[in-house]
Structure 1
Amino acid sequence: MSENASSPGLRPNDLLTFVMAVACGLAVANIYYAQPLLDTLAGDFGINRGTAGVIITMTQLGYAAGLMLLVPLGDLLERRRLITVISSVAVLSLVGMAVAPTSSLFILAALITGVTAVVAQILVPFAAHMANDAERGRVVGRVMTGLLLGILLARVVSGSISDLFGWRAVYWIAAVIMLVQVVALRHLLPEESPQSPMRYAGLLRSVATLVREEPVLRRRIVYGALGFASFSAFWTTLPFLLAQAPYHYPDAVIGLFGLLGVAGALCANLAGSLHDRGYSRVGTGLFQAAMGLSFVLMAVFPENLVAIIVGIIVLDLGVQGNMILNQGAIYQIRPEARSRITTAYMTFYFLGGAAGSAGAAYLFEFAGWIGACSLGIVLGASGVLFWLREGASHDCS
């Protein structure tokens, strides 16, 4: 079945589109609930901040594993059943996080939660596949909006709930919400089983083949991994900065900083316009530079709240703009393999995020905020240097 054709009788109505958008947001939110809670978790479990940062690293590694191993199953199995089974496992892993008596068990449950969060990356192509050509952009845009809102609001919600009821309540509530989601998706999603001529092992091998054969994909993987490593390095260590002097902010206030990510969402149209007008290369360089410069600003003025806020906005603009340009480039190659291209790109994207989280957490433990910002500066500079080197190539997509 062609990716560019919708299945007869399976067009998503407004209700189904809304439900899929909410489901995407809730699934991906499970990865981000812990970020504003890291200082609290470190205190409760009696671990240092470097070890607490591993929580974020493990959810991202889990997500990368899910992208690599589970998302391709959407081309082989009945998607409604696949989505509800994975979501049911998410319920159990969230309960595990809520009741975990030790940091080791909490981190293990966080890893499984990260794996199950890839439901979002199965729902997005499912929605695109059901929509006809005339409405595909609108449908995918709505579902992606839900995913983005899940990322933005997760930190705000978890910080507020933690201050009111304790951090374990965050995961109990998340588990109940996911259980409701399982029931809703089971009843509302249509039965639809894409027919792929490949077996599972063949699909996985074809992902590696795409990376090997497509230079544009390889280059954009580098930009994506560096960008998300910067993003994760910052958001993993920001709670540590804001929990100590001179801020001493509670979890709820730390979570509110996630709302500044709205700036990144607003950048999507600008980045898309740059791509459509043929300025993708110029935009890539600017966004890479913005990420590095944001860390310079925050490293120089760590006790200035305005500088931190401006730094967050500039960083999010760079990360989101970089992401849009990367997607615009990779989706121009091999339209028949877009799902597998997504798997390749997003797997390395989250591996970069996991490395950024782990590296920044341990640098913060040994060198404080300056150490974490130094990593962000190095990542941004590496992106700019790669961009300059790429300029020698005739194909700079």
Structure 2
Amino acid sequence: MSAAAVIANGYYIHPLVTPVAEEFGVSGAMIGLVPALNQIALALGILLLLPLGDRINNRKLITIFVGGQFLAMLAMALSGNFPIFLVASSLLGFVTIAPYLLPAYVTQRVDPARIGHVTGIMTAGVTFGILGSRVGAGLLGHYFGWRSAYWVGVACMALLVILLPAIMERKQDEKPSSVEPPRYGALLRSLWPIMKSLPEVPLGGLIQALSFGLFLALWMAIGLHLPRNGYGVDTVGYLAIIAIVNVLGSPYVGRFADHLGAERTRVYFCVMQLIGVCLLPFAGDNLWLLVIAIIFNSIGGASVDICSRTILFSRAPEIRTRLMTIYIVIMFVGGGLSSWLGAATYEFGGWTGISVMAAVYALTIMALSLLGLRVGRSRA
């Protein structure tokens, strides 16, 4: 649940794009900059800050960065104009490191044979936060105004700053060892050689960049499309409730990946994601068909992520935080660009435009996943 709470902050904007844009007097393409720069700033923060997890106590780092999220959320809740809101959202992204320190922290404390299962549980928490933020923000925005969602986020971060240090009690294996950890500069310089020696890690990051980008672009388009067709922002929240169904299956996806092989399992769920995308051209005016498309996309996309992380966590546990850095940086650069592209595509191409964009993404994801299966077989 901690992972859900700390990841949720960056996604309150998705059901609220229309009322926020109206209050600040900006266009749909301009409001798309908010999630786009948030995700790109997150990628930059992960690149510069996440490697510190291989050097500094994770408990301390997480507490500091959650405190940073509290301050950024407070600035967003109080912002009086669009530039301040945009800058605060970008700063929020930069310090949103805790969701990616927590999985590395947890997976170092389980048996290697259970990494897929545990990764599924952690991913379920992240997915619940991403989708649950849409539910909560949509309902709060509809009944109490869009700022109320951010005030709830401020309260949650204040609570976590107090609770997380107690939850993450210092373990015996966290005590300083006699081995001097790598210096910060050396950590950053090591990322490129790691990418060359473990090509499945950047490949997984690229797959997830497109999969996550598809997810964000679709939800940005939904947030713009439904209010323009007579639905309230609460309807976007209700759709997110349906999408949360994939949270229940995430731990089982991890077990499936443990037994069948993560590369092969990833291909299967790419097919499910592609089926969901194929439904989109017919779902623009049909809410029930849109529900089915969202379910297929959500389950497929979340499962692709679980499989890619299972591959990552099965490699070189001593540098797991840096492997996560590579994966997440690539993922959020793609996600950030796609957030803006989704809003801009819908603004200029309507629902047909977003459907074509989604199809291109899904087909590319499938091709890269088949390549990943081939790379996995070559390592076996």
Pick from 46, 65, 70: which aligns with 1:67? 46
Residue of 307, 319, 334 corresponding to 2:316: 334
Kindly provide the CA deviation profile for residues 253-275 of structure 1, in whole angstroms up to 9, marking residues without a partner as x: 21121122233224435533543
Partner Cα distance (1:378, 1:142) in 2: 30
Aligned to 1:158: 137
Listed as ranges, the matches of 1:34-113 within 5 Å are 34-113=13-92
RMSD of aligned Cα (Å): 2.6
Query: Does 2:378 correspond to 1:395?
Result: yes
More moved, 335-344 vs 257-266: 257-266
What are structure 1's unaligned runs of at least 5 residues? 1-21
1:380 maps to a residue whose letter is A
Residue in 1 aligned with 2:277?
Answer: 295
Matched-pair contact (CA < 8 Å) for 1:25–1:150: yes
How far residue 157 of structure 1 moved from its aligned partner, in angstroms, is 1.0
- One of 318, 337, 353 as aligned partner of 1:355: 337
* Larger deviation, residues 248-257 vs 282-291: 282-291
Alpha-carbon distance in 1 for matches of 2:254, 2:102: 23
Q: Which runs of 5+ in 2 are unaligned?
A: none
Cα deviations by residue, 1:201-225 (Å, 9 ceiling, x for unpaired): 1111222221122122232222211
- CA distance change for structure 1 residues 263 and 392 in 2, over 3 Å: closer, same or farther? same
The worse-fitting range, judged by mean Cα deviation, of 141-150 and 37-46 is: 141-150
Q: Does 1:324 align with 2:303?
A: no
Shift of 1:237: 1.2
* 1:19 corresponds to: none
Compute the TM-score of the two structures, normalised by the length of structure 2: 0.89
Contact 2:139 2:234 in 1 (8 A): yes
The CA distance in 1 between the partners of 2:41 and 2:77, in whole Å, is 18
Greater displacement, 217-226 / 234-243 = 217-226
- How far has the Cα of 1:48 moved from its partner? 0.8
Of stretches 142-151 and 354-363 in structure 1, the one that deviates more from structure 2 is: 142-151
**Residue type at the aligned position of 1:77:** I
Q: Give me the whole-angstrom Cα distance separating, in 1, the residues matched to 2:320 and 2:272.
A: 29
Amino acid at match of 1:244: R
- 1:304 correspondence with 2:283: no
Deviation at 1:325, TM superposition (A): 1.7
SS of match in other structure, 1:77: coil
Cα gap change, 1:328 to 1:33, in 2 (>3 Å): same
Q: CA deviation at 1:319?
A: 0.5
Q: Are 2:140 and 2:146, in contact at CA under 8 Å, matched by a contact in 1?
A: yes
- Report the identity percentage: 26
Alignment partner, residue 103 of structure 2 = 124
CA contact (8 A) 2:202 2:326 kept: no
Counterpart AA for 1:37: L
Q: CA deviation at 1:78?
A: 3.4
Cα contact 2:223–2:236 (8 A) shared by 1: yes
Deviations 1:123-168 (A, max 9, x none): 3333444x46599868776655443322231111111111222111
- Out of 197, 206, 213, the residue aligned to residue 197 of structure 2 is 213
2:352 is equivalent to residue 370 of structure 1: yes
Structure 1 segments (4+ residues) deviating >6 Å: 134-141
Q: Which residue of 1 aligns with 2:162?
A: 183
What's the secondary structure of 1:326's corresponding residue? helix
Contact 1:301 1:308 in 2 (8 A): yes
Residue matched to 2:184:
200
- How far apart, in 2, do the equivalents of 1:333 and 1:135 lie? 13
Which of 216, 228, 253 is matched with 1:232 structurally?
216
CA deviation string 1:57-81 (max 9, x = no partner): 1221122122212222122223333
2:56 counterpart SS class? coil
In the alignment, the residues of structure 1 paired with residue 213 and residue 239 of structure 2 have an alpha-carbon distance, to the nearest angstrom, of 19
Q: Distance in 1 between matches of 2:363 and 2:110?
A: 42
Say yes or no: does 1:251 pair with 2:233.
Answer: yes
Amino acid at match of 1:178: M
More helix as a share of residues: 2
Could you tell me which amino acid in structure 1 is paired with residue 326 of structure 2? A
Alignment-mate amino acid for residue 117 of structure 1: T
Which secondary structure does the structure 1 equivalent of 2:169 belong to? coil
Rounded to whole Å, the distance in 1 between the matches of 2:197 and 2:85 is 40
The answer to whether the 8 Å contact 2:243/2:295 transfers is: yes
Greater displacement, 324-333 / 341-350? 324-333
Deviation (angstroms), 1:361: 0.8
Structure 1 residues 369, 260: CA separation in 2 closer, same or farther (over 3 Å shift)?
A: same
Secondary structure of the 1:70 match is: helix
Spell out, residue by residue over 1:81-128, the C-alpha distance to the aligned partner (whole angstroms, 9 max, x if none): 322222222111111111212212111111111122221222333344
Q: Secondary structure at the match of 2:338?
A: helix
Equivalent pair of 2:63/2:165 in contact (CA under 8 Å): yes
CA contact (8 A) 1:293 1:377 kept: no
Provide the C-alpha distance between the structure 1 equivalents of 2:166 and 2:319, rounded to a whole number of angstroms.
30
1:171, 1:326 → 2: CA distance? 31
Letter in 2 for 1:316: S
